[in-house]
């Protein structure tokens, strides 16, 4: 665990699909008495389409643009938020730059991690993850996740202030770990 060197303003959760970003974000926001925003849900609300339809009808590039617009908008909010992001948000260079720039304003970026087996298990029943839906069978979905890990882990690593492996940790313990960093940063 790394202590954030300055008072924490927004908290952004990053990491691959099935690492627990939305679940952890919701509980963390409640504990901190802050608003919680899930960028996937916010984009679905704004576009009035679910992610699967956005990918199918507008394409991935359009979705990535919506992610960068949404992240820019959220990080410019004055009141501190807990934000969970889609696993591919750092595909956009704009988002990578934005997270780096906002560090000076007290942004805390938390990278949630999980093993491929855990991610497969947690995403098994999901209908709304087009990158996994394209792959038929467990082996193919495993390959997709492995190749996303190889591609994205360097971006997650560069952006993260702290990394938490969520395989065996309870939600409450993960939340307490993040809260402890936030509390240390405030002193």
State the residues that interact with ligand S3P by CB under 6 A.
Answer: 17, 21, 40, 51, 86-88, 129-131
22 or 185: CB nearest ligand S3P: 22
Degrees (nearest 5) of the Cα angle 61, 126, 54? 25
4 or 55: CB nearest ligand S3P: 55
Name the one residue in this structure whose structure tokens are 């991610």.
Answer: 119
Output the smallest distance, CB 106 to ligand S3P, in A. Answer: 24
Calpha distance 37→80 (Å, rounded): 11
8 or 17: CB nearest ligand S3P: 17
Of 117, 121, 175, 177, whose CA–CA distance to 149 is shortest? 117
Output the smallest distance, CB 43 to ligand S3P, in A. Answer: 8
Output the smallest distance, CB 104 to ligand S3P, in A. Answer: 27
Output the smallest distance, CB 186 to ligand S3P, in A. Answer: 29
Helix spans in 59-170 (H)? 60-75, 93-102, 116-123, 130-133, 138-159
Output the smallest distance, CB 129 to ligand S3P, in A. Answer: 4
23 or 185: CB nearest ligand S3P: 23
11-14 and 108-113 beta bridge pairing: parallel
4 or 144: CB nearest ligand S3P: 144
Calpha distance 142→184 (Å, rounded): 38
């Amino acid at each position: 665990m790394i202590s954030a060197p300055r008072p924490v303003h927004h908290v952004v959760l990053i990491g691959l699909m099935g690492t627990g970003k939305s679940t952890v974000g919701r509980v963390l926001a409640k504990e901190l008495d802050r608003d919680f925003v899930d960028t996937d849900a916010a984009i679905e609300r704004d576009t009035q389409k679910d992610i699967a339809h956005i990918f199918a009808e507008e394409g991935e590039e359009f979705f990535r643009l919506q992610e960068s617009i949404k992240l820019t908008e959220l990080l410019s909010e004055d009141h501190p938020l807990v934000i969970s992001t889609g696993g591919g948000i750092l595909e956009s260079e704009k988002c990578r730059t934005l997270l780096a720039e906002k560090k000076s304003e007290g942004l805390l970026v938390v990278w949630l991690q999980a093993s491929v087996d855990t991610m497969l298990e947690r995403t098994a029943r999901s209908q709304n993850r087009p990158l996994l839906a394209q792959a038929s069978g467990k082996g193919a979905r495993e390959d997709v996740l492995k190749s996303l890990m190889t591609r994205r882990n360097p971006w997650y690593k560069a952006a993260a202030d702290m990394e938490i492996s969520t395989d065996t940790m309870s939600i409450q313990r993960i939340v307490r770990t993040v809260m402890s960093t936030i509390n240390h940063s405030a002193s």
